[in-house]
Amino acid sequence: MPLEHRILALVYHDFEALDLFGPLGAIVSRSDYYTLELVNVHNLEAPQGLECSIKNSVRVVPNLSIADALKDPEPFDTLFIPGGLSMIHLLDDPMLLKKIGQLVDRARNVFTVCTGSLILAATGRLNGREATCNKRVFDEMTPKYPDVKWKRQGRWVEDGKFLTSSGITAGLDAGFAFLAKTYLAPENRSDEVILPSKNGDEVVLPKFDKKKAQEHARFVAWTLEYKWNEDSSDDPFAGKPVSKTALHYV
- Domain of 237: which CATH number? 3.40.50.880
pLDDT on residue 249: 46
How many domains would you assign to the chain? Answer: 1
Nearest to 230 by CA among 151, 191, 181, 177: 177
Q: Is 55 left (phi over 0), alpha (psi -120 to 50) or beta?
A: left
Its domain, for residue 205, covers 5-249
Contact in structure between 162 and 129 (CB atoms under 8 Å): yes
Nearest to 76 by CA among 199, 220, 196: 196
Integer Cα distance of 98 and 159 in angstroms: 21
Q: Does the predicted TM-score (pTM) go above 0.85?
A: yes
pLDDT on residue 240: 64
> At 91, which amino acid appears?
L
Residue-wise pLDDT for 56-73, tens only, equals 678 888 999 999 999 999
pLDDT band at 13 (very low <50, low <70, confident <90, very high): confident
pLDDT on residue 138: 92
Count other C-beta atoms under 10 Å from residue 104's C-beta.
22
pLDDT on residue 48: 56
Residue-wise pLDDT for 66-113, tens only, equals 999 999 998 999 999 999 888 889 999 999 999 999 999 999 999 999
